[in-house]
Amino acid sequence: MLGHRLITKETSPRGLPVDKVHVVEHLNIAQNFYLAITTDRTNNGCPLLLMSQGGGTVLEGLSTKNSNTVVRVPLTYGDGVVEPTIISLGARFALDREPLTTILQRLFTLFKECDATLVEINPLIRESDSGRLICANSKISIDNAASNRQSEIFGLRDKSQEMAVEIAAEKHGLVCIQLDGNIGCLVNGASLAMATNDAVAEYGCRCANFLDGGGKATKETMVKAFELILSDKRVNTILVNAFGGITRCDMIAESIIAAAQNFHGIPIVVRLQGTNSAEGQKM
């Protein structure tokens, strides 16, 4: 594995470089569980506890076949995991109360104190010999807005696992995610970017990137955005879909004009809507 690239459902088609391999003890597994706490966007961002039997890769198949497989329990930041929830989950999954209580409370403490958006144990296993509950694999996602508070955690970031263009975009206040198409896409706002990618896919094409200029974009950062798009040799068309709010459409038009000398014959399609859109279209 060392020196090769790992390709999974969670990576890009290029995969990620493998420079470390963790060796762990062999475990005799009696049962697998999935356990996580995440933010519930349908409930004002409150914590949501998720648990199911049959963790690991088995979970995806189970959850698609039966929506009742995963138990969902709304939580509050003030109360955390309360006793009735622990009793209910213990009975549902036939787990001893004491070790389950310890894991659930520690999981919630980690979620809250680390400003996490997701803390996941997959799988949580019950060992056949001892009956212990063991975290066999885990994942944690931290809110980027908490980078100042969580400086120690963000200091662990391994940029060698990230795309160079995405790191360069971040330095200029841009969000760029490489995709596998050939249409360079520049949008302001993550939701509009996702909708634009969906619209492009609907017509049988694919975007080369997800590039969000954000609400604090300036002429200079937008010119840089075009430079990043054009650095991808796969790009043979550029699509700009801008909804002017804080970011004015005439400023975006100025950025396009300033960057035009680097297009080298690559066609560009521009949609401007919102603040100063008429002025931008005239330019």
Residues marked active site are found at 34, 120
Backbone phi, psi, residue 110, to 5°: -60, -45
Q: Are 40 and 47 in contact (CB under 8 A)?
A: yes
Distance, CA of 120 to CA of 203 (rounded, Å): 36
Residue 77's closest CA among 102, 36, 113, 50? Answer: 113
Q: Give the CA distances from residue 52 to residues 37, 94, 133, 248, 277, in Å, rounded to whole numbers and listed in that order.
A: 12, 12, 14, 47, 50
d(CA 230, CA 184): 8
- CA–CA separation, 240 vs 178, rounded Å? 16
